[in-house]
Structure 1
Amino acid sequence: MTELDFEFLCAFLKARSGLSLTAEKRYLVESRLGSVCRQFAIDNLSLLATHLKTGRRSDLETAVVEAMTTNETFFFRDKAPFDLFRDVLLPRFLAARASTRRLRVWCAAASTGQEPYSLAMLLDQNAPRVAGWQIEIVATDISTEVLEKAKAGLYNQFEVQRGLPIQMLLKYFTQVGDHWQISPQIRAKVDFRPLNLIKSFSHLGSFDIVYCRNVLIYFDLPTKADVLQRLSNAMSPDGALLLGAAETVIGITDALSPDPVNRGLYGKTIQPAPVRSLGLAASS
């Protein structure tokens, strides 16, 4: 792969997925896209770049983007964001939405589904508190391949051992051969949809709680700012945004502000009320 080929592939990936790659990530491109070459019987990465330049292989374009997508996730990852949901956000919004009894949650970049399913299990454990409520969990990801796995809710032994308490495994999963499948009751609580975060998501509507964790780290600064601004637009006025531990809005956007108490939690920035003119006529 020549330097021009690498530059083209980086530009292609940024335009399609927002992924920002630097020269030190060249080994990652060669490793992951080498498997795409083998899948499509393409001899090398230079020829792969040539095929992509034609713009006539949508299947190849999709495979390249999905191969470069990082799908690292596990149940109750980092724990704190789920404690926040159970102990802070759920009580807050149950009080704030008592008149409508409706709550919308969005898990962006949901990968293979462990994050939204973790929230769905927490809701099930709080069933008496949310009885009669309409609670929607929308989970999106750019990769259709991981979304299919998420919809199936089928995980291997290693995946269910990562972060999932044994009590929840026994309560919500059924063993299927050497895998475990999450119950239909929990799967029914999550609506999985394909979505590219660098494109418009206004059609999803407004959300009260948004989880967008560990995806902004792969974007450059302008892309982060754009996505955060549009996330703010997709939040209700008192909505909550949770980012990953290595992510922040500080220095990137003024549309969102950190919660003063809870780390990793953000809300819409309260704009100061405009100063009203008293309209007094000048004396002569």
Structure 2
Amino acid sequence: MRPQAPCGACRAVPSRPAWSTRCNPSNASPKPSPIGQLVARPNDMDLASREFDELAKLIHSLTGLVISVDKSYLIKHRLEPVAKRFGCDSFEAFLSVIRKSGGTRIHDAIIEAVTTKETSFFRDSWLFEALGQHVLPELAKRLDGTGTRRNRIRIWSAGCATGQEAYSLAMLVRELVDNQPQTRRLNEFSILASDISSDAIETARSGLYSATEIQRGISEGRLRRNLERAGTRWQFAGPLRELIQCRKLDLLRPPHDLGAFDLVLCRNVLIYFDQPSRQRVCSTVEKHLLPGSFFVLGSAESLYGCEHSFETIKHGRAVIYRKPAASR
């Protein structure tokens, strides 16, 4: 499904966001192409089938994305500017440079070009309602005498793009803390926001968003409580930015220092992977989840037949997976 475009009333960016549920596409569940919804346009670089095959194989090895031959025009559109930036006037020359370079600079440029950063705040609102009303309160019990005593609840937003999901989680955590001021503190929670894109992670780290981005999912009340004006943009307040650690991370090659988590969200990622890559990600998540902790996928995703021990929990429309408490 193509991501919904804002309605006419939302096209112009006002001096402050115009809050309208009717114009808010965050409740939709778009399934963008992993390299975006683009229209092919004429250019002076042809992409032969053997060149596409080699580039598709490289993209898969770098990102896990599976690019089918019917998306070759998108590869051509996205990678032609990268090829020209590296002084190449053909994809054959570009591939030659890639083979000879063996460095990360050209690989990073390819990753930035082919990964999508489509996201919004509180995307799939029913899921965040379930997290705020059921999952986070249950996790908070681990911090006191009603559950396993812990110093901190750790949450991982895996494949966070430009950070809207991580900040949505941070706002829910703040609301939980504000509702229990005598017993809860923000520093009892931490959120890891990770993505393979360096540019996306820098945006997430800054906490800076345009009025158009803010109006996609954030209510006026949450705006007043959590954000401040920063020129023509909005920035999340310091306490929420401090709650989030932003890190460039490849889900298929996770670092050894990830640690254990109480909640992992990995939404709209597996849908673009092949089965071996899906299994690797699911195994990584399962390994790093504490017993009794939660795993969330996108609304159009499932575990795709991956081997796992997760139980399925439903809260209304929200489907959440839980690692059994007896797991070791």
Q: Distance in 1 between matches of 2:231 and 2:326?
A: 55
Q: Identify the residue that residue 70 of structure 1 maps to in structure 2.
A: 116
Greater displacement, 208-217 / 118-127: 118-127
**Corresponding position of 2:185:** 131
Q: State yes or no: 1:184 paired with 2:234.
A: no
8 Å CA contact 2:282, 2:308 repeated in 1: no
Secondary structure at the aligned position of 1:259 is classed as strand
Question: In 2, Cα distance between the equivalents of 1:257 and 1:34?
Answer: 45
1:114 aligns with 2:170: no
Question: 1-side partners of 2:280 and 2:95: how far apart?
Answer: 28
Deviation of 1:48 (Å): 1.6
- Is 2:217 the partner of 1:171? no
How big is each residue's C-alpha offset from its partner over 1:206-258, in whole Å with a ceiling of 9 and x where there is no partner? Answer: 10000111111110111101110111111001110010011111522233232
Check 1:96–1:177 CA distance in 2 against 1; reply closer, same or farther (3 A cut).
closer
Moved more, 99-108 or 52-61: 52-61
Does structure 2 conserve the Cα–Cα contact (< 8 Å) formed by 1:250 and 1:257? Answer: no
Q: Is the 8 A contact 2:142 2:150 kept in 1?
A: no
How far, CA to CA, are the matches of 2:63 and 2:151 in structure 1?
36
Counterpart AA for 1:23? V
**Alignment of 1:240 onto 2:294:** yes
Aligned residue for 1:86, secondary structure, equals helix
What does 1:6-25 align with in structure 2 at a 5 Å threshold?
Answer: 6-25=52-71
Offset of 1:197 from its aligned partner? Answer: 0.4
C-alpha distance 159-38 of structure 1, shift in aligned 2 (>3 A): farther
TM-score by length of 1: 0.89
Match of 1:51 among 91, 97, 101: 97
> Counterparts of 1:254 and 1:167 in 2: how far apart (Å)?
40
Distance in 2, matches of 1:56 and 1:101, equals 43
Paired residue secondary structure (2:106): helix
Deviations 1:8-55 (A, max 9, x none): 111111111111111111111111112212333321322222211224
SS at match of 1:188: helix
2:323 is matched with: 268
Alpha carbons 2:291, 2:325 under 8 Å: kept: no
In the alignment, which residue of structure 1 is the partner of 2:85? 39
Instruction: Note the alpha carbon deviations across 1:146-167, whole angstroms, 9 max, x for none.
Output: 1111111111121111111122
1:271 CA drift (Å) = 7.6
Task: Decide whether the 8 Å contact of 2:130 with 2:315 is kept in 1.
Answer: no
Asked if 1:195 corresponds to 2:240, the answer is: no
Matched-pair contact (CA < 8 Å) for 1:105–1:210: yes
Report the equivalent of 1:230: 284
Give unmatched runs, 5+ long, in structure 2: 1-46
CA distance in structure 2 between the aligned counterparts of 1:29 and 1:55, rounded to whole angstroms: 20
Judge conservation of contact 1:107–1:140 (CA < 8 Å) in 2: yes
| 201 and 79 in structure 1: CA distance in 2 versus 1, 3 angstrom threshold | farther
Structure 1 counterpart SS, 2:239: helix
Tell whether 2:139 aligns with 1:85: no
Cα distance in 1 between the residues matched to 2:310 and 2:92: 42
Contact 1:108-1:139 within 8 A present in 2 as well: yes
Query: What's the secondary structure of 2:257's corresponding residue?
Result: helix
Structure 2 counterparts to residues 88-107 of structure 1, below 5 A: 88-98=134-144, 99-107=149-157
Q: How large is the RMSD of aligned CA atoms in angstroms?
A: 1.9
Deviations 1:113-138 (A, max 9, x none): 11111111111122243237621111
> What is the rounded CA distance, in whole Å, between the counterparts of 1:126 and 1:31 in structure 2?
45
Distance 1:166 1:212 in 2: 27
Letter in 1 for 2:157: C
Aligned residues: 272
- For residues 175-200 of structure 1, the C-alpha deviation after alignment (integer angstroms, 9 at most, x for no partner) is 22321111122111100111000113
